[in-house]
Structure 1
C-alpha cells in the first residue's frame, strides 16, 4: 500500500529538525565543556547536559505526531518519567541544595551517558504521558455528544464535537489532521495479505479487514448522503464501483461466504481508501450545514424507500431499513456516522495484530 504523502513530508521535516537539534546540541555542549575547562566552573555544563538530551527526548516523542489529548497518563508519568527526570536533574539540585547530596544516587546520576539516557527517556515519556489512549478519549467525547446533540441551544457545540470525533475515524488525509487517527493506526504496517484474509478466526467475526472497511464506508455513505442529505450517494456520483472493481452496491449485510470471499480478493485497495476520503468529507459538509433543531428530525419514509429502490441493502437485510426508519438524524449521526465506524475499526485493528503476530 502506498504511504501517505502528508506523513512522508512530516517524517522528512521531523528528520531535518532532529538533525539540526543534534548539531546545535553538540555545538552548545562542546562550547560549555571547553569553557568549564578554562574557568573551572561546571554549573552551566551541568545544566546543558540535562537540557540537551531532554529536548532530544521531546523531539523523539513527536515522531508519530502530536499528543491526541492533554490528559495525564499516570501509569507512564509516575513510574517512568518521574524517576528518570529526578535522576536527570539530581546533579543540578545538589549544586544548590547541599543537603540533598547522596554518594550512591550521585554516582548513578553521573555515570557516563547517564544524563543522555535519563534526558531522552524523560522527554519522551513526558509527552507520551499526556497522550491519552485514543479510544478512551473517543468514548468519553461520544457520551458528551449524545448528551448535547438534541439541544438546539448547543447545536454548534454538537457539530464541532462531531467533527472532532469523526476526524479520528478516517485517514488523517481526509481532514488534514496533524495527529494520527484510528484508521492510520489500522493501516500502519498492514500487509495486503492480512487486509484481504478471509475467513479470519475471531470470536466476533470471520470477515476480512477489507470487508469491514468497505462495509462501514457504505453504511456512512448511504445514511449521510440519502437519509440525512436527500442526495445522491458518493458511490454513484463518483462511479466508485468501477474503480473499486466490484458490482455490489449494497451495505454488505447478510452477504454469503462466497460473496465476501470474492469481495475480499478483488476490491481495489487504493480506490477503497480514496472512496473513504470522499465519503468522510461529504459527511462533514452535510453535518456542518445542518441548522439548530435538525438533529431532532425523524428520518423521512421517502428516503428509506429511495435506498430500497437503489438496492442499498440486500433483501435479506431489509431489517436495516426498518431500523434506520425509526431513527432521528441524531440517531444516524451517533451510530452509522460515528460509533458504527469506531466499532469496526477497533475490530479490524485487533484482527490485524492477531493475524500478523501469528505470522512472525
Structure 2
C-alpha cells in the first residue's frame, strides 16, 4: 500500500528513460533534483515544507525505535540506512571522492556501527535505534542530501555512463561501509555492476522512496495503539 510520494514513481520512470541520453543531461539532472528534494527534509532545498517534513515533525524520540511487527525495522534504522547508503554511493562511487561520515559524525550521532545496517538482526536494529542521537542523525542525513545535490549538479554528459571503479568499491569496504556478512557485502557486487546513472536511479531515489513509504506506514501503526512487536 502506498502511503507517500504521489507521482514520484512516474517521475522516476521518466528519469529512467532519459538519464543516459547525452542531449538530455540537464533535463535529467533537473528531474533528479526535483525527485530527490521530495525525499529529504525541505532544509536541503529551502523550498518550503514537504511530506518528509510532515513525517518527522511530530515524531517523538521513542517512536523512532519501535519495530511494529516482526517483519519490520524501525524508523531510526531506516534513516540511518538510507543516509549511509546515499553517503557511500554518492561520495565515493559517483563523485569518486570521500564520504561525509567520519569519527566526528560517529561520535555526534553516538553510532555503534559504521556500515549501512543491512545485516543487523532484530536486537542489532533495536540497539542501533536506541543508541542514535536522533537530532544529529537527521542533521547527518540532510548534510548527505545537500552534498548529493552538488555532486549531481556538477555531472557532465559523459559521466552518466561512467562505470563504478573497483578501487572505489574497495574503498567502501576498507572504510567500514559494509561488513563481511553476506547480507552486507553483497552490496559491493551490486554497486560494482552499476554506472553513475544506475546509481542515481536507486540509492538516492527509488531506494529512499520505498523506505520512506515504510516509515509512514509504521508511524500510522504506532499511533493506532495496536500491539507492537518491539519497543
Taking structure 1 as the reference length, what is the TM-score of the superposition? 0.60
Q: Higher helix proportion, which one?
A: 1
Give the C-alpha shift of residue 134 in structure 1. Answer: 6.4
**Contact persistence 1:295–1:329 (CA under 8 A):** yes
Look up the match of 1:209.
Answer: 75
**Contact persistence 1:222–1:307 (CA under 8 A):** yes
Give the C-alpha shift of residue 258 in structure 1. Answer: 2.5
Look up the match of 1:263.
Answer: 128
Look up the match of 2:61.
Answer: 192
Give the C-alpha shift of residue 337 in structure 1. Answer: 1.0
Asked if 1:231 corresponds to 2:97, the answer is yes
**Contact persistence 1:294–1:329 (CA under 8 A):** yes
Look up the match of 2:117.
Answer: 252
Give the C-alpha shift of residue 318 in structure 1. Answer: 1.2
Residues 15-68 of structure 1, C-alpha deviation per residue, up to 9 Å, x if partnerless?
xxxxxxxxxxxxxxxxxxxxxxxxxxxxxxxxxxxxxxxxxxxxxxxxxxxxxx
Equivalent-residue separation in structure 2 for 1:337 and 1:190 (angstroms): 23
| 3-state SS of 2:157 partner | coil
Superposition CA RMSD, Å? 1.5
Aligned residues: 222
Give the C-alpha shift of residue 327 in structure 1. Answer: 0.6
Gaps of 5+ in 1: 1-132
Which protein has the larger Cα radius of gyration, Structure 1 or Structure 2? 1
Of the three residues 31, 36, 54, the one matched with 1:166 is 36
Equivalent-residue separation in structure 1 for 2:31 and 2:19 (angstroms): 9
**Contact persistence 1:196–1:209 (CA under 8 A):** yes
Look up the match of 2:161.
Answer: 296
Asked if 1:311 corresponds to 2:181, the answer is no
Residues 314-355 of structure 1, C-alpha deviation per residue, up to 9 Å, x if partnerless?
111211100000011111100001110111100011000111
Gaps of 5+ in 2: 227-231
Asked if 1:142 corresponds to 2:8, the answer is no
**Contact persistence 1:228–1:299 (CA under 8 A):** yes
